[in-house]
C-alpha cells in the first residue's frame, strides 16, 4: 500500500499549495491513502470547516489537527459529525470528535489512522502511549487493518522517537508533526515501522515557522507581546512523507516529499 501524509498546513500559502498539488501528487505517486495535518490552516491557528471540505475535495482521505484543534470554534460541531477529521486521541473522554478512524479503500483494504499528542513541553493531557496501546488492542496490523499510520503531534524529538519504538512492528508508520521543521531521519525501525521525527510544514519558509518574520523576531528581542502573529504569504514548500508497505502492513520504504518554495526538493521515484 502507498500512503502519503503532509505536515502542518500554515495559512493560505500552505493551504492553497496543498490543495493545488494534491490531485497531481496522488496520481503521480499512485497513493492509496492521503492524510493532511491542517491545524494551522486558518490564518495559522485552527481549521475552518470549509477548509476541511476543500482538502477532502482535493483528495485527502483524512485531516488531522493538534494543539490548535479548537482555535476556530465552528469546527466543534463539524468534527462531531465528520469522522474523517481527527483531533488528538488522548484528549480527555467526552471531547467532541474522534482521535482515530478506520478508512475502507475502494478495494476494501482498511487503513487505521490515529493522531496522538505529546506531553513534553506541551499541554497536560492523558498519556498518549497508553491511549495508542489501547487502540491497538482493537486493531491488528495485517489482520483487521492492512495499514496503520500514527500522526504524533509533539514538540520533543526524544518523545517522538520513544513513541515510535514503543509501537515498532505494530503500525506501518509513526510520523511527527507540530514543530514545522522537517527532519532528515526517515528510516524503517527494526520491527518494520517507518519513522520520521517531523514532516515539516506546508507553508512559506521565508518566515519563523510559517509566521511573518518581523513580529516574531520582535517578540524575542523585547519579551513583550506585539502585533498578532500572521502567516507568511510567500511561495510555500509542501512537506510530507511517502510510505510504502508490504501486504502485511510493514513499511518497506519511507521517503521525504518537498516541493516548491525555498527548500531543496525531494520526491520519491
Active site residues: 68
Mode of pairing for the β-strands spanning 33-37 and 2-6: parallel
User: How close are the terminal C-alpha atoms of the chain, in Å?
Assistant: 15
Amino acid at each position: 500500500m502507498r500512503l502519503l501524509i503532509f505536515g502542518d498546513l500554515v495559512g493560505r500559502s500552505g493551504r492553497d499549495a496543498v490543495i493545488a498539488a494534491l490531485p497531481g501528487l496522488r496520481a503521480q505517486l499512485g497513493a492509496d491513502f492521503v492524510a493532511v495535518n491542517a491545524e494551522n490552516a486558518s490564518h495559522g491557528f485552527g481549521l475552518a470547516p470549509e477548509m476541511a471540505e476543500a482538502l477532502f475535495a482535493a483528495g485527502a482521505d483524512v485531516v488531522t489537527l493538534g494543539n490548535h484543534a479548537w482555535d476556530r470554534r465552528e469546527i466543534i460541531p463539524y468534527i462531531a459529525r465528520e469522522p474523517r477529521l481527527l483531533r488528538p486521541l488522548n484528549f480527555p473522554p467526552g471531547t467532541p470528535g474522534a482521535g482515530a478512524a478506520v478508512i475502507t479503500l475502494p478495494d476494501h483494504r482498511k487503513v487505521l489512522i490515529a493522531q496522538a499528542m505529546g506531553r513534553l513541553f506541551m499541554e497536560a493531557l492523558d498519556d498518549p502511549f497508553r491511549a495508542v496501546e489501547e487502540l491497538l488492542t482493537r486493531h491488528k496490523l495485517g489482520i483487521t487493518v492492512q495499514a496503520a499510520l500514527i500522526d504524533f503531534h509533539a514538540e520533543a524529538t526524544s518523545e517522538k522517537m520513544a513513541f515510535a519504538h514503543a509501537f515498532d512492528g505494530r503500525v506501518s508508520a509513526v510520523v511527527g508533526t507540530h514543530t514545522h521543521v522537517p527532519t532528515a531521519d526517515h528510516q524503517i525501525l527494526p520491527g518494520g515501522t517507518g519513522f520520521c521525527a517531523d514532516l515539516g510544514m506546508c507553508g512559506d519558509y521565508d518566515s519563523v515557522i510559517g509566521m511573518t518574520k518581523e513580529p516574531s523576531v520582535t517578540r524575542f528581542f523585547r519579551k513583550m507581546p506585539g502585533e498578532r502573529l500572521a502567516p507568511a504569504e510567500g511561495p510555500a514548500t509542501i512537506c510530507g512523507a511517502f510510505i510504502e508497505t508490504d501486504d502485511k502492513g510493514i513499511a518497506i520504504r519511507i521517503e521525504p516529499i518537498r516541493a516548491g518554495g525555498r527548500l531543496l526538493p525531494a520526491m520519491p521515484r
